[in-house]
Structure 1
């Protein structure tokens, strides 16, 4: 029974990682290539509004949360095997920072280097009580959410993941169905209220997606408020997304239907980096015929998802983990782990 629960937990987290990867790219591509400002009353304008209501800050929050859970799982397993989990994790985040530093040359504002820094700050919290970690995380999310600071939100979201790991929520999902239902309903109601509030500040025309402080132009003030509220309610919408996906995954048919997400999530690091590489390749081709529109970024992302999901499914038929995951593990343990599945005994 314990083994089944553990496997279910891992599968659920992989689905969530894959789900987070689905959304992250739609905002990353906007920051990377800066598409044309949409014309009023066009599909591009409607898509821009959709992004800043339902995507911006939502999937990044999920990814940050999952990083915290991953930290807990890594440390717990390392210590259970008699290894020095702290030394191993330090190697792990140094390697992650190096990968992120290189990646940032191609994708400014990428998350990996920031996660590595947050991971270093997270180490002392591993020994703290789960109740204390939960309170600190919720207080940090509330404070930085109120301030509309996406960057500062990262650490409390990661700490929340650690606290959830300490509570062993994902090991006990099967016995927590009522609680998950209640949590999801509450988060959906709060998200609906938050989105309704954000819509009140929805700009009347397309906008440049940057928060501009100190500008007295009424339109820019409205854009600023709209984007800030979006950051503020981001964790609520993210929590609703997570709850809904967890509930859906309790159905076998949904697990089968969404199985590609699981493979996508198992190679999260490889696919996150590959998304940037494919965006850069695609934009080189598109820009030969002019600038890129918002809707064209949407089509590029769909194509990238299809390519990477297919490659992930094919790769994991023969290999235990993705190539970047293998490299990351090799640096962490200072030895080459087996990669081919045929090495299993």
Structure 2
């Protein structure tokens, strides 16, 4: 079987990168607590409602699908997919290590380690992977173990690849639409439940147990609820975007998002560079208002939408993707877009 590139995955990666940028920028700029009663306070509350543990989870799921497709494509070409993926994640770990010097909360090293743990599972029965991933994800969500959640998301991604989920959306479009609408409705109810737990004042987004402080306890409930419903909301976001992509005008309108997703590694690291440069040049680090940070993020994302589209018009892949592939296969990939 030939495993062609699946455009929907690139759209989803591009969308996930927007949410990841919104969360990472707050940490990179070390934003102070917003002023009570301000628009910044509302934005902080909504950010931890709509973005925290959502987009990173989506990206983890997509990593799992990409892992499976990479190995199957390599095997289809008669290559040793196992060995090539080992090299691939070693290079990814190197990117992550360099990135962590400037962004201590970066995810690439975590992905590389999880990728290593995933290797035995690409031969495991798809239903076993699906069940194990779902059980682990539910357990970690209940425990609030955010750092452990990427692996079960990746395992579910492997199962989705084995089930050829994204290839069968068109074949079973009506069934997908019904399931997507139900999922979105349930996720909306879950978000409403979490928002009802929101603290009445600006909060430090860290779970602190046993303090006896009513505000901190309320913050804990809000953040833990976010982790609990995180998987549901992440899959609802993906379902909503896939529904929208069924309409050709929307698909064409969002095509720059697909370009951002095709250059996911370049854009992920590029976001850190752009946020830190803006923090230095504009004096935003440690002083920026949360709303200012929001506008900065949208400015960066619009830039990446345009730059990625223009770049891929002339070049075959992003610059870091080119280096990643060259290091994996030990040969120079094509540079220009033919």
- Asked if these proteins are the same fold (TM beyond 0.5), I'd say yes
Of the candidates 293, 310, 313, which is equivalent to residue 309 of structure 2? Answer: 313
Alignment deviations for residues 127-150 of structure 1 (CA, whole Å, 9 cap, x no partner): 100000000000011100111111
Instruction: Provide runs of 4+ in structure 1 moved above 4 Å.
Output: none
Alignment deviations for residues 204-253 of structure 1 (CA, whole Å, 9 cap, x no partner): 01111111123221110110111011011111111111011111111110
For the 8 Å contact 1:184–1:239, the answer to whether it is kept is no
Alignment deviations for residues 14-56 of structure 1 (CA, whole Å, 9 cap, x no partner): 1001000111100001111221211111110111111011111
* Pairing of 1:113-152 with structure 2 (within 5 A): 113-152=109-148
* Pairing of 1:31-46 with structure 2 (within 5 A): 31-46=27-42
Q: How many Å apart are 1:290 and its aligned residue?
A: 7.7
Structure 2 length-normalised TM: 0.97
Distance 1:225 1:338, change over 3 A: same
* Pairing of 1:1-345 with structure 2 (within 5 A): 10-287=6-283, 291-342=287-338
**Comparing 287-296 with 37-46, which one deviates more in the overlay?**
287-296
For the 8 Å contact 2:278–2:284, the answer to whether it is kept is no
Root mean square deviation, CA, Å = 1.5
Alignment deviations for residues 104-152 of structure 1 (CA, whole Å, 9 cap, x no partner): 1111111110000000000000110000000000001110011111111
Distance 1:317 1:243, change over 3 A: same
For the 8 Å contact 1:11–1:262, the answer to whether it is kept is yes
**Comparing 207-216 with 261-270, which one deviates more in the overlay?**
207-216
Q: How many Å apart are 1:184 and its aligned residue?
A: 1.3
Q: How many Å apart are 1:193 and its aligned residue?
A: 2.5
Q: Unaligned stretches of 5+ in structure 2?
A: none
**Comparing 210-219 with 49-58, which one deviates more in the overlay?**
210-219
Distance 1:217 1:331, change over 3 A: same
Q: How many Å apart are 1:10 and its aligned residue?
A: 1.2
**Comparing 167-176 with 267-276, which one deviates more in the overlay?**
167-176
Alignment deviations for residues 75-119 of structure 1 (CA, whole Å, 9 cap, x no partner): 000011110000000000000011001101111111110000000
Distance of 2:284 and 2:16 partners within structure 1: 31
Structure 1 length-normalised TM: 0.95
For the 8 Å contact 1:286–1:292, the answer to whether it is kept is no
Distance 1:299 1:76, change over 3 A: same
SS in 2 for 1:137: helix
- The number of residue pairs the alignment matches comes to 338
Distance of 1:183 and 1:134 partners within structure 2: 17
